[in-house]
Structure 1
Amino acid sequence: MNHRRLTPSMSLLLVFEAAARHESYTRAADELSLSQSAISRQVQTLEQQMGVSLFRREGRSVRLTDVGRRYFMELSAALGRIRSATLQAMSHQSGMGSLRLATLPTFGSKWLLPRLHDFYVANPGITVHIHSRIGNIDFDAGELDAAITVGSGEWPGLTAHRLYNEFLVAVTGPAGFDDKNQPTPAWAKNQTLLTIASNPQAWAEWFSHHQLDHRQMRMGPSFELTSHLIQAVRAGIGIGLVPKALVEDELARGELLAVSEAISSQRSYYLVHPHRNQTLPSLQAFRTWLLAAC
């Protein structure tokens, strides 16, 4: 396999990411200060280099193909990591310290990283090192200063700052639905239910909220990562119950449909850290920014 084919130039990737995010060559051209024809040519170059069709043309509009949409999701996450690493490198020599922060993987990529630029603008001398963690956080090893996690608020031996309550929304793919035919809780009770391993009781809470018979629950696979569950929903494996904050973009673009209104769960998101880190300057700055952002 030609390595160049597997590593397109950054200029091609940035053009594709902008065009895919907007599903519009015109809006991508405005964002990147290029002509619409230049966007089209670079997308065609990328498609030829990869040997796949990333967009389909519908009159004067463009829409992502299935492979294009999957590529966009993977690429946007990778570009987010590149931008974050660049910001960290730029602030490394400023002398204002660093923060080693653990976060839930999907929360980090879907909520935190898109907003982290604002923190760096306000605090250019601080570097935030992001570590993905699921479950209990071990601060005794000395590798982490703080963590963003979700739970009931019981964090023995730690200082916990509540960020916001978790709201869960049941989602399904758009196939088979239109403006006159939308998914409902009555429809959902007969579907395969996908779960997050860390919150196995979520569907029981949802069924109780909608006064549905728990005996009708058809439990399907469970997933450690919310991002994997979202992909499984998109693939038609079943319906998922996920934090609404992590699927706002997909709902807005119509890639997922809400089965009903979001319901409040028994969990909240928290910033937690050992008491000893209370006066850490980088943590103080990040805590102030994060609480305001939430």
Structure 2
Amino acid sequence: MNPRRLTPSMSLLLAFESSARHQSFTRAAEELSLSQSAVSRHVQNLEELLEITLFQRQGRKIKLTDTGAAYLKEVSIGLSKIRSATLQAISYRHGGGSLHLAVLPSVGSKWLLPRIHRFYEQHPGIQVHIHSRIGQFDLELAGIDVAISNSQDGQWPGAVAHKLMGEELVTVISPALASTLKGRRPADLASKLLLQVAARPNVWGDWFVRQQLPLNRMRVGPVFELTHHLLQAVQADIGIGLVARFLVEKELQTGQLLEACEGASSHGIDYFVFTAEQRLDFPPAKAFREWVQREAALGAELPADAVRP
């Protein structure tokens, strides 16, 4: 097939897309600063090139055919991406642009969002579009430039990893439930429900092994999709959680939560910032990666100027 048939000119596509949106050649002509006859001719040329009918013509009225409606849907996506890419290219002159970031929900809400105003202060021209994601996926296919996630080995197909921080797992409990414990030793926790996150099914078992406790003493509690929900359950006196310290730093400082047994923390999974290989030198992605690495180097506790009421 002739490649030209598969790649109509931009003038033809713009005339079609505008006419389809307005359902009018006249209004499309006004939008594109062309004559009505020029727009009509462009659409007719596109139909001849594709050898399909895009519009039903009834006098001066036009209506998309089913084929035309399907074509509009795909063409609109393509034109939108072209316009977005053009705006990105223009914005680079001023150090701006935008990026799409995937982040674990708990890390996003508890660690990233309280800090990200500092990124905007340093890079006012860059916008970060945040998507909550759990687990690995195809970054390029999903349109994601950068991801923040945990990993046993720092590997993510199609991405380059930079370590952010290690994970210290701590046992957390509500003050009310803590008052019912016989003691604050590891063995005393076995009398309470041990809450779990679905993505980390072995975390309590590993902890029991490290504490040299028999696994048959575990009282496995409810499983939660999100760490945020698990922490709400802990605060509701349902059971004990085993979570990354940097996610509960504020609650431990204010006394909303307590360490169920101090001195019994353990190392968990490391956290990384993953950059899609083809976006490694993409200016907004590079600026964000360097910034988030600096933030992680400051430690889990929020700097004083990062606190928001």
Instruction: State the partner residue of 1:284.
Output: 286
After superposing the two structures, state which structure 1 stretch, 272-281 or 181-190, moved more.
181-190
Inter-partner Cα distance in structure 2 for 1:172 and 1:94: 49
Instruction: State the partner residue of 2:200.
Output: 199
Q: What CA deviation, in whole Å up to 9, does each residue of 1:186-243 have, x standing for no partner? A: 2102211101111111111211221111110111111110000000111111111111
After superposing the two structures, state which structure 1 stretch, 151-160 or 229-238, moved more.
151-160
Inter-partner Cα distance in structure 2 for 1:93 and 1:191: 58
Inter-partner Cα distance in structure 1 for 2:219 and 2:122: 48
Relative distance call for 1:264 and 1:163 in structure 2 (3 A) is farther
Instruction: State the partner residue of 1:268.
Output: 270
Contact residue 100 and residue 145 of structure 1 kept, 8 A: yes
Instruction: State the partner residue of 1:248.
Output: 249
Inter-partner Cα distance in structure 2 for 1:177 and 1:224: 25
Residues 38-117 of structure 1 aligned to structure 2 (within 5 Å):
96-117=96-117
Contact residue 198 and residue 224 of structure 2 kept, 8 A: yes
Contact residue 92 and residue 127 of structure 1 kept, 8 A: no
Inter-partner Cα distance in structure 2 for 1:154 and 1:92: 30
The alpha carbon displacement at 1:156 in A equals 2.9
Are residues 1:128 and 2:109 paired? no
State TM-score, norm by structure 1: 0.64
Residues 19-30 of structure 1 aligned to structure 2 (within 5 Å):
none
Partner SS state of residue 175, structure 1: helix
Contact residue 139 and residue 158 of structure 2 kept, 8 A: no
Q: Which runs of 5+ in 1 are unaligned?
A: 1-90
Inter-partner Cα distance in structure 1 for 2:183 and 2:155: 39
Inter-partner Cα distance in structure 2 for 1:250 and 1:93: 43
Contact residue 244 and residue 262 of structure 1 kept, 8 A: no
Q: Which runs of 4+ in 1 moved over 4 A?
A: 91-95
Partner SS state of residue 256, structure 2: coil
The alpha carbon displacement at 1:107 in A equals 0.7
Rg larger in 1 or in 2? 2
> How many aligned positions are there?
203
Instruction: State the partner residue of 1:219.
Output: 220
Instruction: State the partner residue of 1:50.
Output: none
Relative distance call for 1:132 and 1:248 in structure 2 (3 A) is same
Relative distance call for 1:214 and 1:142 in structure 2 (3 A) is closer
The alpha carbon displacement at 1:140 in A equals 3.1
Q: Which runs of 5+ in 2 are unaligned?
A: 1-90, 297-309
Instruction: State the partner residue of 1:183.
Output: 184
Relative distance call for 1:194 and 1:92 in structure 2 (3 A) is farther
The alpha carbon displacement at 1:164 in A equals 0.6
State TM-score, norm by structure 2: 0.61
RMSD of aligned residue pairs (Cα, Å): 2.3
